[in-house]
Amino acid sequence: MPDQPRISPPALASRWVLGMGLVSWRYLWATMPLHRTERRADAPELPPPIPTELAREELQPWESGAGPMFYRLFRVRIKEAYQDAAGLMHTVIDDMGSLVPAEVVHVHEGEASDRRLRPGDEIVVDMPGPWNGPVLVVAAEPTRLHLATLDGHLEAGQIEFRAYDEPPHLVFEVEAWARPATRAVHVLYSHLRLAKEIQFNMWVRFCQAAARAAGGRPDGGVEIRTTVAPVPDPARPDRQPGGAA
């Protein structure tokens, strides 16, 4: 796991207040059109299985979370881009830190900081609150980056970033399958909606940054689709601890 900077409780609290204030301010003044839909479903949309060779005790699979499963898809269609799908994803994989909102998120890649990410790497998305975001790289391919959460993450599940060419557009998507990691997060996320709105804002801005990185601009804004569903009990019998197939 990459080393994480130690932050004193007063500094952490100050950073949380400042970061959330900036996020809220930029969210309120955002002019990007957002096409947001949310629906309830009877059964959850589940993430793909983790390859057996990457399974480890530190994984925090969706089965270990609390509350319902949230499936989210953020999509932006980019016009007039000078990069293709592979070019944009090269930036996402090699320099993810340049695309996240700098006032609230920092990416620590540890041993992978001087090379391209590859399956098995562990990185930390440092956030201004009581949780950081340690993740495992499951796949790092020319047009997609797939991550799974590790112990200590705000969520339990997986997330994928991908791009594809759909002339005349370049399409970029962020797709996530996750549950709140703990009951406390479930309250913040599902009931108070605080963590949910912070995350919503972060991935919308990530899509905007991806459009800029590709040299183009969003065509029609950002589409956000959310599906919320109860988690079956017991968990799927065809999955092993750690989310392995």
Query: Residue 96: what pLDDT?
Result: 84
Instruction: State the DSSP H helix or E strand holding residue 135, giving kind and residue range, or none if neither.
Output: strand 133-141
Within-domain flag for 243: no
Helix 9-28, helix 194-213: angle, nearest 10: 70
Within-domain flag for 237: no
- Both structure tokens of 53: 């060779």
Which CATH number do you get for residue 87?
3.30.530.20
Within-domain flag for 224: yes
Nearest Cα neighbor of 161 from 123, 110, 115 is 123
Worst-scoring range by mean pLDDT, 88-92, 187-191, 219-223? 187-191
Within-domain flag for 2: no
Q: CA–CA separation, 32 vs 205, rounded Å?
A: 9
Domain that holds residue 66: 9-48+56-229
How sure is the predictor about 84, in pLDDT bands with cuts at 50, 70 and 90?
Answer: very high
| Longest Cα–Cα distance in the chain | 50
Within-domain flag for 210: yes
Bigger pLDDT: 11 vs 56 = 56
N-term to C-term CA, the chain: 23
226-239, pLDDT tens digit by residue?
999 999 765 444 44
Determine the average pLDDT of the residues in 55-63. Answer: 93
How sure is the predictor about 128, in pLDDT bands with cuts at 50, 70 and 90?
Answer: low
Within-domain flag for 236: no
Within-domain flag for 13: yes
> Which of 4-18, 155-169, 228-242 is modeled with the greatest confidence?
155-169
| Count of domains for the chain | 1
194-223, pLDDT tens digit by residue?
556 667 778 888 999 999 999 999 999 999
Within-domain flag for 88: yes
Bigger pLDDT: 22 vs 226 = 226
Q: 180 Cβ partners below 8 Å, 6+ apart? A: 65, 66, 67, 154, 155, 156, 186, 188, 189, 190, 195
Residue 244 gets which letter from DSSP? B
Q: CA–CA separation, 95 vs 245, rounded Å?
A: 30
Determine the average pLDDT of the residues in 160-171. Answer: 97
